[in-house]
């Protein structure tokens, strides 16, 4: 029979207090929200459209930026070059800067007077107040999670396997797609899920770039400011339930694929 020492019991108590700190506010919000309030909130077209917009834009941003993030992560894992540490710091920069400041930076990057904004305007695309602008803001704050997870996955792949494939005549591309990518897939999937989840929860950067159309975090903020806690809480609970269900589903699907 395993018994905890007094020292371990202290750690167990501290861990329990930390879990209580995380769960208590969420449980309190769920308890204070009645089921009929959730049903009424779901019936509102504005709420459903906001949740759908949040999910598909975040997913689109994740998949689009993954096309660059995964190869870059492989390069960071396999090559040593000048300023590599600097690049690592740059990748982590969106995580540490205030997201309102990130929104200001993105707004200047995609505004009508910027190079990207002018290029978008030439094809009839205005990033400001558009789902494309929301996707850029979401990707900016969430892509470090994918890059770091994918890099760790590639670092765990033995280099000797790649070298053996090259020795046997495989091209670098074939070695990447048949050895490196499949073996690092667990970390990459985790990174994709984290990027998707972080993107759809973003508020500070998005609200500066595109207040409208409203993603759900912005809608929650607006309802709280206009009507108070009573009207903002059901939307929050509904969005948490949908996000949590989707997160669990993605985790289950990724595990099935890995098996």
Q: Where are the domains of the chain?
A: 1-31, 36-258
- DSSP letter assigned to residue 176: I
pLDDT above 70 (res 31): yes
pLDDT above 60 (res 259): no
Contact 242, 257 (CB under 8 A): no
Q: CB within 8 A of 175, min separation 6: which ones?
A: 162, 165, 166
Angle between helices 131-155 and 185-200 (to 10 degrees): 150
User: What is the pTM (predicted TM-score) of this model?
Assistant: 0.90
Could you report the per-residue pLDDT of 118-144, keeping only the tens digit for each?
888 888 888 999 999 999 999 999 999
The dotted CATH code for 36-258 is: 1.10.3720.10
């Amino acid at each position: 029979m395993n018994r905890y020492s007094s020292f371990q019991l202290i750690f167990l108590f501290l861990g329990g207090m930390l879990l209580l700190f995380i769960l208590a506010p969420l449980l309190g919000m769920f308890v204070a929200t009645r089921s009929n309030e959730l049903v009424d909130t779901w019936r509102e077209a504005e709420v459903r459209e906001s949740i759908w917009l949040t999910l598909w834009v975040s997913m689109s941003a994740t998949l689009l930026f993954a096309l660059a993030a995964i190869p870059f992560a492989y390069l960071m894992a396999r090559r040593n070059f000048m300023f590599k540490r600097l690049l690592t710091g740059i990748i982590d920069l969106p995580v540490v800067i205030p997201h309102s400041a990130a929104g200001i930076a993105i707004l200047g990057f995609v505004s009508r007077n910027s190079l990207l904004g002018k290029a978008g305007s030439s094809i009839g695309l205005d990033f400001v107040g558009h789902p494309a602008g929301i996707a850029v803001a979401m990707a900016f704050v969430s892509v470090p999670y994918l890059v770091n997870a994918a890099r760790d996955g590639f670092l765990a792949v033995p280099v000797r396997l790649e070298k053996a494939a090259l020795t046997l005549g495989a091209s670098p591309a074939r070695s990447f797609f048949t050895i490196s990518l499949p073996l690092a897939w667990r970390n990459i999937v985790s990174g994709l899920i984290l990027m998707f989840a972080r993107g759809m929860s973003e508020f500070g950067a998005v609200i500066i770039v595109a207040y409208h159309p409203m993603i759900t975090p912005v809608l929650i903020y607006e309802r709280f400011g206009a009507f108070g806690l009573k009207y903002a809480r059901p939307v929050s609970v509904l969005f948490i339930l949908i996000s949590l269900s989707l997160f669990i589903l993605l985790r289950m699907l990724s595990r099935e694929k890995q098996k």
